[in-house]
Amino acid sequence: MKISKKMESAVNAQMNEELFSEYLYLSMSAYFEGENLKGFAHWMREQAGEEREHAMKFYGFLFDREGAAVFGSMKKPQTRWTSPLAAFEAAYKHEQYITDCIHKLHEAAMKEGDKATMSMLKWFIDEQVEEEASAKEIADKLKMIGKSVNGLMMLDKKLGKRE
């Protein structure tokens, strides 16, 4: 069944949110590279790749439903943070925002009775639980580490192993 114009527009908006997420995490990766925290930078590059995959799920869904993908302009992401903790707190806050966007999209699909979109969004709803938990876990570890350089280096090494 062809997607409605209203849902097509809403799915496109979410696809663009996911692309901005990729852009933001690449900016965070660049910040960490500049701080010589290669493991943190690697983690953020991997996260950016996941966000691109999310955007492409929406992209493919639009065409599967006889819709069209429309790319909007993106705002410039933040480029500096005061600390690794501040960057991960920002990532956690951003994931909470994305969760809210996906929930609103699901509500819109429910109002339209668009079962296909509701079904597709179940994966994203479940994924956001993991996305939020992951960013929060690292932020919490950074809080525990405090100003310990050794702790920061150990976490950097661990984050560098993310696949």
In tens digits, what is the pLDDT along the chain, a chain of 163 residues? 899 999 999 999 999 999 999 999 999 999 999 999 999 999 999 999 999 999 999 999 999 999 999 999 999 999 999 999 999 999 999 999 999 999 999 999 999 999 999 999 999 999 999 999 999 999 999 999 999 999 999 999 999 998 8
The helix-helix angle for 115-145 and 149-159 (nearest 10°) equals 150
Q: Where are the domains of the chain?
A: 5-159
30's CB contacts (< 8 A; 6+ apart) are: 41, 79
**CATH code assigned to 5-159:** 1.20.1260.10
Tell me the pTM. 0.95
